[in-house]
Chains A and B, each alone.
Chain A
Amino acid sequence: MKKIEAIIRPHLLENVKDALQALGVQGMTISEVRGFGRQKGHTEMYRGSEYKVEFVPKIKLELVLDDDVTEGAIEAIAKAARTGKFGDGKIFVFSVEDAIRIRTGEHGEQAV
């Protein structure tokens, strides 16, 4: 089992979700996050005072998959989330020791 954590542009979430669903992915968790990398932030102005906003809004997407579908999912995310400019985000992959479905108590790959 692998956990995929992807930081993507908020407006591309819909693309990414559709691409993953097309692969048969049945669930995922997202959260609104802020962060910075090579993409520069932006400036905001309030009554002439300039504020540099360095932490840019992003979406963090998390999903746990069977090993054999992980590579396909990574490719799908990368393709759907790419614009070619700074700020497209990153994908991290982790090994997962176990997973438990709370409703039934199933363990391992049956639970994901």
Chain B
Amino acid sequence: MNSLSKKTHLMSRVLIPLSLMLFSVLTWAQDAAAPTLEERLAKAESAAAAAQTAGDNAWMLVCSALVLLMTGPGLALFYGGLVRKKNVLATMMQSFIMMAVITVIWAIFGYSLAFGKIDNQLDSWNLIVGGFDFLFLNGVGTAPSAYAGTIPHLTFMVFQLMFAIITPALITGAFAERMKFSAMLVFCTLWAVIVYFPLAHMVWGDGGLLNAFLGGKIPALDFAGGTVVHISSGFSALVCALFLGKRIGYPKTPFAPHNLVLSVIGACLLWVGWFGFNAGSAVAAGGLASNAFVTTHFGAAAAALGWLVVEWLRIGKPTVLGGISGAVAGLVGITPAAGFVTPMSALAIGFIAGVVCFVAVTEVKKRLGYDDSLDAFGVHGVGGFTGAILTGVFANSAVNTVFKDANGNALPSGLLEGNPSQVLNQFLGALIAIVLTMIVTYLLLKIIDITIGVRVSGEDELSGLDISQHGEEGYNLDADLGVLGTVSGSASMSALPEMVEAKS
């Protein structure tokens, strides 16, 4: 009895409060911190998406910078070294100014014309050109777009901008050393609007005629811009070279490059920047980017060797200019293929592109007699066309599944895999670009020639574009000797350099 009352006492004193406490803790936990399975799943999903965005966006911003590097120092140095001393600044300026001009028009309406979508009732227009929905970058913000679901729309926009900058800059190689700066500005701006923006839309834009992924009628494969960038600029370059005519003295007077050291640095910067151009065109930091990175590198290496081997055999010496020209030709050739072919195919494509471009630059140009100053056509036009066709030959569905049957199974991509019609599609895609670009280029040049004139006067050409167009010289290495004369308005006489006779 005694013990029983003791037990009851214990219960009432200890267990009851304890159980009450336990109960209240349980209810508290249920009220405040018990996420449902759905909530936890949503949280995990958004964390995963944020992580992927962080990775992809970091990569794509770096790639955007790399593609700008191709124009800024890369092409400017490559082309700048190839011209004569008196034209070095003007030639570099023709690349540099694109970084400014194209950026501004891209921001205002260019991006919209390339990647916008037109309302349904105007669908047929949308095959050719984008709409006005992204005018002034309206609606282009940090949220992802339909083009790339894991990166901010702004990143996609700026990445594409860098391609629009380099494309007209490539053409400048054809008319180097003889085009008016004003005419060049007008030409390149209008060319971007009438040729580049529609072409970019046709190949990459939503609803574009040639877009293989977003329901194009003629599905041409162009991974990173072989057609949009290189065929368009290269064939436009040919028209420019023919329209402007030869430089005074060509081909009798030697036009030796004034500083191949600059060109080597420029070409190597192009090679590095091209990783952004091609691997970045995967628009994500995944396996496809790795494939494009490797194929790009292999293509450049094989093409440098291809050019050098033929040059050594045919001309007797392997030249440095040949090596770097070959590398650029290979980079051009692999551009449409980078995300569709295997690394081994890239070696083949590069080698072929190197040899074909060598023949175009050394034999074809000489025989036809046009003055493509820096071989913009021979490297970008011919290399781009070769690459487009070879993409149709070597494309492999194991690398990148483009075509699927009704059940979602992969269909063969290229000729070697059993899809010969792809070579025809590649040819048609290239042909459309060639026809558009050559006609528009000719018309633009004609209009500009009638209005402001495309070519500098003979006197200006002989004194050099640096002085005649920009009032500067690239190399004032003797400035401390007073050879620049006096500051205008100052009365002081410049000291003339005297030859000092030394005492014997």
Contacts and interface: CB of A to CB of B under 8 A. Distances in A.
Contacts, number: 59
Contact of A47 (B254, B322, B503, B504): B322
29 contacts: A25-B504, A26-B502, A27-B501, A27-B504, A29-B500, A29-B501, A45-B319, A46-B256, A46-B319, A47-B325, A47-B361, A47-B375, A48-B315, A49-B255, A49-B366, A51-B256, A52-B254, A53-B254, A62-B499, A63-B502, A63-B504, A64-B501, A64-B504, A66-B504, A69-B504, A99-B501, A112-B501, A112-B503, A112-B504
A19 B499 CA distance: 23
Contacts of A99: 501
A74 to B, nearest CB: 13
Contacts of B256: 44, 46, 51
B154 interface: no
Given A46-B321, A47-B325, A51-B256, A27 B362 contact: no
A79 B243 CA distance: 58
Contacts of A52: 254
B446 interface: no
A44 B258 CA distance: 13
**Range class of the A interface residue count:** 20 to 34
B501 A48 contact: no
Contacts of A29: 499-502
A28 interface: yes
B315 A45 contact: yes
Interface of B: 251, 254-257, 311, 315, 317, 319, 321-322, 325, 358, 361-363, 366, 375, 499-504
A101 interface: yes
Contacts of A112: 501, 503-504
Contact of A26 (B257, B319, B504): B504
Nearest to A70: B504
A65 interface: yes
A78 interface: no
B502 A28 contact: yes
B62 to A, nearest CB: 33
Interface string A59-100: 000111110010000000000000000000000000000010
Contacts of B315: 45, 48
A20 to B, nearest CB: 9
Which residue of B257, B319, B503 has the most chain A CB atoms within 10 A of its CB atom? B503
Contacts of B311: 48
A32 to B, nearest CB: 13
B254 A101 contact: no
A48 B504 contact: no
A101 B321 contact: no
A12 interface: no
A27 B366 CA distance: 52
Contact of B366 (A26, A28, A48, A63): A48
A66 to B, nearest CB: 7
Contacts of A46: 256-257, 319, 321
